Amino acid sequence: MNANTKFGFIPVSSSITQTPIEEMIGELIPSLHSLGGEQLTDEMINVPLPVYYLIVTGGTEEKVLTLQQEREKFAKNEPVLLLAHPGNNSLPAALEILARLNQDGEKGRIIYLDDNTNKGWQDELEKIINQHTVFNQLKNTKIGLIGEPSDWLVASIPELSTIKNVWGPSVIKIALEELKLLIDEVKEEQIGDDLHSLTVRATEIKEPSKKEMKSVVKVYAALKQLIKKYELTAVSVRCFDLVVDLKTTGCFALSKLNDEGIVAGCEGDLVSTLGMLWANFLTDQVVWMANPAQLDESNNSIWFAHCTVPISMVENYKLRSHFESGLGVGIQGELSKGKVTILRLGGKNLEKIWTSNGEIIESGSSENLCRTQVKVKLHGSAKASDLLTSPLGNHVLLMRGSYAKELTEWWETFIEK
């Protein structure tokens, strides 16, 4: 299969049809190829790619349902995509198939391939292909849970099987003790470049000692070893135990990993780490995990704060102590004003989402909040008061740009029941 192939399509025609497929839909095949499609046979139903059904004629209903039963054994929760065209009773067959799938509780949709009446079908299909690519990325992802989720995450400790079955990623549990042993084994000569990178760009080093700064860089080096050993795409770390047991912090390590494209969440919060991973795949943006620290209902705005932030997201930063403990190294970053998206996943079965576009209107430096602080004014129908009436948990995610529509559409397609 071509390395540039993004999806496969199976032409399905009636067994009584004598006309060659090429005569009926020949003009459509090059268009599908141009979008990254490859024509498949029925026997290729279980290829590790999105597979769509090109409904060539009527009388294909039972055949498509049989193919889909086989496909479901390999690709659970994958929505069914039917490609219909204006001739040979393709559209009525597609309507009947989708109606039956919906009766059976399956999700699906029809793309109508007609250059005369639906000129945007190629753009529509390309968007779906990209959404499916993210769906497959998630299924092939491993998240390392290093230590258990923090004790206070009473609404954010999903069953690992729920994460796998609903969203796709596998979770690999790794003892925090393994990380601690690796931190202890890191030599100072291994961390010189990363230590220099951390300190040379800081506009101020206020509380941390040189020893504390070396220690947080060792945490980063040790996490890199675990990521390589277990072949992880993302990590979620019970980082407060590092503060208590080793008098150090994971703030720098998680910041740098996110900047390197390895999604890294705090406090063993798997729900937030999953949300970060999904948002990163879908938008290609670095994602910040923070606490909603204060809110203003009258101005529909929220202050977010945390002691780490991806340095690529900030204009400048200071090195401070960790807010709650006064130990180790926290990062006080200043984020520039501009458009952002906020996001939170939740629910017992991770089936809920809260997201909104907004804009950063202020960056803060209060001494009674975690070090990096931004004030975000929400746009659209979302309200700051939603957090008071229907919260999904104590962390919210933030990324640059306006992506609430894209996130919601993906969620409606793949997750919403």
HEC string of 178-221 equals: HHHHHHHHCCHHHCHHHHHHHHHCCCEECCCCHHHHHHHHHHHH
Q: Which residues pair with 314 in a beta bridge?
A: none
Q: Distance (Å, rounded) from C-alpha 363 to C-alpha 376?
A: 9
pLDDT at 74: 87
Q: Cα–Cα distance between 355 and 407 in angstroms, integer?
A: 8
Domain boundaries, the chain: 7-139, 142-414
Out of 3.30.2270.10, 3.40.50.10940, 3.10.180.10, 3.30.70.20, the CATH code matching 7-139 is 3.40.50.10940
Predicted local confidence at residue 326, as pLDDT: 87
Query: Which pLDDT value is given to residue 21?
Result: 78
To which residue do tokens 């503060």 refer?
Answer: 243
| Residue of 264, 124, 241, 257 lying closest to 180 (CA atoms) | 241
**pLDDT at position 20:** 79
Beta pairing partners, 264: 235
The predicted structure's pLDDT at residue 15:
82
Name which of 413, 391, 392, 412 is nearest 349 in CA terms.
392
At residue 35, the pLDDT reads: 95
CB-based contact 263:279 (threshold 8 Å): no
The pair phi, psi for residue 169, each rounded to 5°, is: -65, 150
**Are 308 and 331 a contacting pair, CB within 8 Å?**
yes
pTM greater than the 0.95 cutoff: no
Q: State the angle between helix axes of 90-103 and 61-74 in degrees (0 to 180), rounded to the nearest 10.
A: 50
The H-or-E segment that residue 363 falls in is: strand 352-364
- Name the nearest CA neighbour of 139 among 273, 261, 265, 48: 48
Residue with tokens 């047991």: 245
Low-confidence residues of the chain, pLDDT below 70?
A: 1
pLDDT of residue 295: 95
Q: What is the 3-state secondary structure (H, E, C) of 104-142?
A: CCCCEEEEECCCCCCCCHHHHHHHHHHHHHHHHHHHCCE
Sequence-distant (≥ 6) Cβ neighbours of residue 389 within 8 angstroms: none
CATH superfamily of 142-414: L-fucose Isomerase; Chain A, domain 2 (3.40.275.10)
Q: What is the model's pLDDT at position 324?
A: 87
Rounded CA-CA distance 319/28 in Å is 58
- Whether residue 268 contacts residue 240, with contact meaning beta carbons closer than 8 Å, is answered with no
Site of tokens 């993302």: 234
Are 223 and 256 a contacting pair, CB within 8 Å?
A: no
pLDDT at 1: 65
